[in-house]
């Protein structure tokens, strides 16, 4: 625990002073003689003595004052809180290698089933976008809270040739930061002929040149989950794309699907051996301060998404907890006053 105004903790020295003052008052009261009418009255008074209970309300009041003094120092602590705003981009591989059957029934079908279950379990306020990538990448569903639209986008996946892992990351970043002017043409492989720079385009290029990176993993309002077999065959370098995500503080959680030994797939008269490229996926996760998950079966994939669901809807952050100490002080004061009234018929 830390404090924003630690110098005010010196006020806690008042507590032992108040405790000594309380003991002094008790002793002073004992020295003052009390005249009683008879010995019988004295015995009756002693029999009804409050004993230890007389010290409970003052002790609770002292604790209440202590909580109030700690609250004035504005304590801070790292606690787990639900995220108020969150956007998750699902970047999913739809390349031909995803038809491999080393994950039953196929990599793609298992990925679709797990993604649908993941989306349904997320809190309704979490927005989800879907990016599909193969030889190019495209945003197939803009971030939305409509679970029906997200599931429909996942159901529409169609396999294509090649794998541009880097493009999937870049299109996801362009979706999260549309004002950054990330070159979608380069990300999707759709290069255009150079065009004269108009003033607006020139201003945009100057603004990108002045971009200031932030610490990796510091952007808590969004995250990217990329599911792929990790074998890049075309498009931008995924490590360079991961560095762009790290510069913006966005975590890229990578999920490797498929067995390490791989599988042989055939399509339209050709065949190829596809294996899981874990090294690239691990590097992407490390660069962005995220995590890599391995899913060698459909059951593993379900567990991965369950784990991600728990990680992405809460956060641990240092938060001021002054209100907790203030509330504790108020409750202790009320408890002390209530016990005093119950036992002795008065507050003090």
Write out the DSSP string of 160-208.
BSS--HHHHHHHHHHHH-GGG---HHHHHT------PPPHHHHHHHHHH
Query: Is 248 in the same domain as 114?
Result: yes
Q: Is residue 336 part of a domain?
A: yes
CA angle (325 as vertex; 77, 85 as ends), nearest 5:
50
| N-to-C CA span, the chain | 34
Query: Is 96 in the same domain as 180?
Result: yes
Query: Is 291 in the same domain as 250?
Result: yes
- SS3 label, residue 232: coil
Query: Is 164 in the same domain as 226?
Result: yes
Query: Is 118 in the same domain as 260?
Result: yes
Tokens 């010995």 sit on residue: 39
Q: How many residues does the chain have?
A: 348
Query: Is 107 in the same domain as 174?
Result: yes
Tokens 């510091």 sit on residue: 218
How crowded is the C-beta side of 113, counted as CA atoms within 13 Å? 15
Other beta carbons within 10 angstroms of residue 341's beta carbon come to: 13
* Phi and psi at residue 260, to the nearest 5°: -65, -40
Task: Give dist(CA 139, CA 143) in Å, integer.
Answer: 9
Could you tell me how far CA 236 lies from the centroid of its own chain? 29
Give the model's confidence band at 80: pLDDT under 50 very low, under 70 low, under 90 confident, else very high.
low
Q: Is residue 124 part of a domain?
A: yes
Give the model's confidence band at 277: pLDDT under 50 very low, under 70 low, under 90 confident, else very high.
confident
Residue 301 has pLDDT above 60, yes or no: yes
pTM: 0.67
Residue 326 has pLDDT above 80, yes or no: yes
Could you tell me how far CA 39 lies from the centroid of its own chain? 71
Number of domains into which the chain is organized: 2
69 lies in which domain range? 2-79+324-344
Query: Is 115 in the same domain as 170?
Result: yes
Does 259 or 229 have the greater pLDDT score? 229
Query: Is 123 in the same domain as 248?
Result: yes
CATH of the domain at 284: 3.40.50.410
Task: Give dist(CA 116, CA 294) in Å, integer.
Answer: 18
Return the pLDDT at 248.
93
The token duo for 328 is: 């504790």
Provide the b/e sequence for 311-325 (b: ≥16 CB within 10 Å).
ebbeeeeeeebbebb
Return the pLDDT at 296.
80
The token duo for 196 is: 């004269």
Task: Give dist(CA 80, CA 175) in Å, integer.
Answer: 28
Query: Is 157 in the same domain as 219?
Result: yes
Task: Give dist(CA 90, CA 171) in Å, integer.
Answer: 11
Query: Is 105 in the same domain as 74?
Result: no
Query: Is 143 in the same domain as 252?
Result: yes
Q: Indicate the average pLDDT of the chain.
A: 80
Query: Is 59 in the same domain as 112?
Result: no
């Amino acid at each position: 625990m830390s404090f924003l105004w630690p110098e005010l903790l010196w006020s806690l020295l008042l507590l032992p002073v108040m405790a000594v003052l309380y003991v002094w008052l008790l002793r002073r009261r004992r020295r003052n003689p009390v005249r009683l009418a008879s010995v019988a009255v004295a015995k009756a008074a002693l029999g009804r003595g409050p004993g230890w209970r007389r010290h409970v309300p003052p002790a609770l009041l002292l604790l209440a004052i202590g909580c109030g003094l700690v609250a004035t120092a504005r304590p801070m602590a790292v606690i787990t809180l639900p995220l108020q705003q969150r956007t998750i981009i699902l970047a999913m591989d739809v390349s031909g290698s995803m038809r491999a059957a080393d994950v039953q029934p196929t990599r793609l079908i298992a990925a679709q089933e797990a993604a649908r279950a993941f989306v349904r379990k997320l809190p309704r306020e979490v927005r989800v976008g879907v990016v599909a990538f193969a030889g190019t990448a495209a945003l197939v569903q803009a971030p939305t809270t409509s679970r029906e639209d997200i599931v429909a986008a996942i159901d529409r996946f169609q396999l294509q040739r090649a794998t541009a892992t880097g493009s999937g990351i870049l299109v996801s970043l362009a979706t999260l930061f549309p004002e950054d002017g990330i070159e979608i043409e380069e990300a999707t492989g759709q290069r255009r002929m150079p065009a004269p720079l108009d003033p607006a385009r020139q201003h945009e290029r100057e603004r990108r040149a002045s971009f200031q990176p932030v610490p990796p993993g510091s952007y808590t309002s969004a995250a990217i989950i990329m599911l792929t077999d990790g074998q890049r065959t075309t498009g931008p370098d995924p490590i360079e794309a991961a560095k762009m995500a790290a510069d913006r503080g966005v975590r890229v959680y990578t999920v490797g699907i498929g067995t390490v030994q791989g599988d042989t797939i055939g399509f339209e008269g050709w065949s190829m051996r596809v294996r899981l490229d874990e090294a690239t996926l691990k590097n992407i996760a490390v660069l962005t301060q995220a995590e890599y998950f391995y899913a060698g079966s459909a059951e593993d994939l379900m567990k991965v998404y369950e784990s991600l669901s728990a990680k992405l809807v809460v956060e641990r952050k240092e938060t001021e907890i002054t209100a907790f100490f203030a509330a504790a002080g108020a409750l202790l004061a009320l408890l002390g006053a209530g016990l005093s009234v119950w036992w002795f018929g008065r507050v003090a």
